[in-house]
Amino acid sequence: MDIGVYIVLGIFFLILLYAVIIYNNLVSLKHGVSKAWSNIDVLLKQRFDELPKLVEVCRQYMSYEQDTLEKVMRARSQVANAQQNQDMQALGQAEGVLRLGLGHLFALAEAYPELKADQTFTHLQSRISGLENAISDRREYYNESVNRNNVRIEQFPDVIIARLFGFGPFDLLEFSAEELQDVNIRALFG
Integer Rg of the chain from CA = 24
The pTM of the full predicted model, rounded to 2 decimals, is 0.80
- Please determine, for residue 8, whether its predicted confidence score (pLDDT) is greater than 60: yes
What structural domains does the chain harbor?
A: 3-189 (1.20.1440.20)
- Please determine, for residue 29, whether its predicted confidence score (pLDDT) is greater than 90: yes
Q: Which of 138, 152, 164, 136 is nearest to 30 (CA)?
A: 152
pLDDT at 185: 40
pLDDT at 9: 94
pLDDT at 177: 56
User: Could you report the per-residue pLDDT of 130-188, keeping only the tens digit for each?
Assistant: 999 999 999 999 999 999 999 999 999 999 999 999 999 999 998 765 544 444 444 44
pLDDT at 176: 66
Q: How far is CA 13 from the centre of its chain?
A: 41
User: Could you report the per-residue pLDDT of 34-75, keeping only the tens digit for each?
Assistant: 999 999 999 999 999 999 999 988 988 887 788 888 889 999
User: Could you report the per-residue pLDDT of 82-98, keeping only the tens digit for each?
Assistant: 999 989 999 989 998 99
- Please determine, for residue 128, whether its predicted confidence score (pLDDT) is greater than 90: yes
pLDDT at 19: 95
